[in-house]
């Protein structure tokens, strides 16, 4: 009898130990009662993520060791096998992890998936209060990639715009301009960045200002990229959104005209040019810059002056001289200014035509391509010259000529026969169809 009682007590004890062990081990407890994601206990998913984030520094806990000994873990990283919603749930559970490397990896993954899930941007906004500057940066990068208006992030970003860390200031300014709908706030943020002591912040502010105005930067129009014809510079069109230069912004840009770095001076002048009449207060300083020691600065200054004062003989002389420069990039810059100012292109028509018709040995080929693109702003008088160039032009130059005819518009009606013969051409067909649509409305009607 005592033996039976002893065996019964031993059996109950073993059962109690098994139940207690089952409940104490996170893996078995969550396998039974949850939380689990797609049937996998949360603790295993978290452990797999930590192991991946920490690498050789990962130290399994006592229960993890028991689970490993019992072979309750597979070798596969279960996190990677989850669906998108399951991954977001795991990442959210690890945002307050004690180990910075785990938190950083979780934020990186969230930032990379921010565009796909509307639940992620609010999480990233909360992370802007994290003690780690690296995590703040990752959160801002995620908000930038998502491009979802997250109003709760803006006050925190305003604080980060004054952060001692340069990259933090740049990211904060950029993120504010993406997330905020307040145009005045955007301009004030850029104006502050333009006065920053760090030139990297200033450069990024100038680029950001171009993006805010949504205009094609002259520096970008200087490039010709092969072989994608849709990336050619004259296909870049100005967008509808326009910013006006406030007095503070004009003053900040004017201050940069005295900067020791010629790239900063040149970019500031081009930006003032895009503001046009709203930046006329800077005209005296831009005029003085026509005598700058740097050639590209003189070209940018001349372009800015012509935007604000089209009758300036000094600026015209600088641009005319630049078209004769030995430096191909200077010639392209001067052509870019003429292309953005049609009256100027007409004034310099003979010089531009000579560059477009020059032999490749006389002018760097991209210079000829830009010259042909600029002829498109010269109206009807450029049409016969463009048709003549097309007779011997290689494919890329032929595309440039066709695009220029399209830019002339209805006044290029005499070119319709030549263009119709090219609509099925492998190299030029797309450009020819686009040009015909701009020249002759009947062409679109025929297609319909």
- 111 is written with which tokens? 């930032």
In this predicted structure, the answer to whether residue 41 has a pLDDT above a threshold of 60 is: yes
pLDDT of residue 387: 92
Taking residues 4-24, what's their average pLDDT?
Answer: 70
pLDDT of residue 239: 36
C-beta of residue 315 within 8 angstroms of C-beta of residue 280 = no
Lowest mean pLDDT segment, chosen from 39-53, 68-82, 94-108: 68-82
What is the pTM assigned to this prediction?
A: 0.69
Taking residues 102-113, what's their average pLDDT?
Answer: 78
Taking residues 2-9, what's their average pLDDT?
Answer: 73
pLDDT of residue 437: 85
The model's pLDDT over 170-202, given as tens digits with 9 standing for 90+, comes to: 999 988 888 888 878 888 888 888 888 888 888
The model's pLDDT over 277-334, given as tens digits with 9 standing for 90+, comes to: 778 888 899 999 999 999 999 999 999 999 888 888 999 999 999 998 888 888 989 9
**Mean residue pLDDT across the chain:** 78
* Number of neighbouring beta carbons within 10 Å of residue 10: 10
The model's pLDDT over 303-314, given as tens digits with 9 standing for 90+, comes to: 999 988 888 899
In this predicted structure, the answer to whether residue 215 has a pLDDT above a threshold of 50 is: no
In this predicted structure, the answer to whether residue 386 has a pLDDT above a threshold of 90 is: yes
């Amino acid at each position: 009898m005592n033996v039976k009682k002893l065996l019964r007590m031993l059996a109950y004890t073993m059962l109690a130990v098994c139940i207690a062990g089952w409940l104490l081990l996170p893996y078995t407890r969550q396998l039974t009662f949850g939380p689990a994601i797609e049937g996998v206990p949360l603790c295993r998913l978290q452990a797999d993520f930590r192991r991946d984030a920490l690498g050789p520094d990962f130290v399994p806990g006592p229960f993890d060791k028991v689970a490993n000994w019992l072979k309750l873990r597979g070798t596969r990283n279960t996190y990677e096998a989850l669906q998108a919603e399951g991954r977001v749930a795991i990442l959210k559970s690890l945002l307050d992890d004690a180990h910075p490397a785990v938190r950083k990896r979780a934020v990186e993954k969230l930032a990379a998936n921010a565009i796909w899930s509307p639940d992620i941007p609010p999480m990233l906004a909360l992370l802007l209060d994290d003690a780690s500057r690296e995590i703040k940066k990752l959160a801002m990068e995620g908000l930038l990639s998502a491009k979802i208006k997250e109003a709760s992030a803006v006050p925190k970003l305003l604080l980060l715009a004054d952060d001692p860390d340069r990259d933090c200031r740049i990211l904060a300014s950029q993120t504010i301009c993406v997330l905020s709908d307040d145009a005045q706030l955007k301009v004030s943020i850029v104006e502050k960045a333009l006065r920053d002591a760090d030139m990297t912040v200033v450069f990024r502010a100038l680029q950001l200002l171009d993006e805010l105005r949504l205009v094609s930067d002259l520096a970008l129009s200087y490039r010709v990229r092969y072989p994608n014809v849709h990336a050619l510079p004259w296909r870049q069109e100005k967008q509808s959104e326009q910013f006006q230069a406030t007095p503070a912004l004009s003053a900040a840009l004017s201050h940069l005209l005295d900067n020791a770095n010629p790239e900063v001076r040149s970019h500031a002048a081009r930006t003032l040019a895009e503001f046009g009449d709203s930046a006329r207060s800077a005209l005296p300083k831009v005029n003085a810059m026509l005598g700058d020691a740097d050639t590209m600065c003189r070209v940018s200054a001349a372009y800015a002056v012509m935007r604000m004062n089209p009758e300036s003989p000094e600026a015209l002389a600088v641009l005319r001289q630049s078209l004769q420069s030995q430096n191909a990039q200077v010639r392209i810059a001067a052509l870019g200014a003429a292309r953005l100012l049609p009256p100027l292109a007409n004034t310099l028509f003979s010089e531009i035509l000579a560059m477009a018709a020059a032999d490749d040995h006389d002018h760097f080929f991209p210079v000829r391509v830009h010259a042909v693109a600029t002829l498109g702003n010269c109206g009807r008088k450029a049409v016969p010259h463009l048709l003549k160039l097309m007779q011997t032009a290689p494919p890329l130059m032929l595309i440039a000529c066709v695009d220029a005819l399209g830019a002339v518009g209805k006044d290029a009606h005499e070119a319709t026969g030549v263009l119709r013969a090219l609509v099925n051409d492998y190299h030029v067909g797309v450009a020819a169809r686009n040009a015909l649509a701009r020249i002759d409305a009947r062409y679109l009607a025929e297609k319909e």
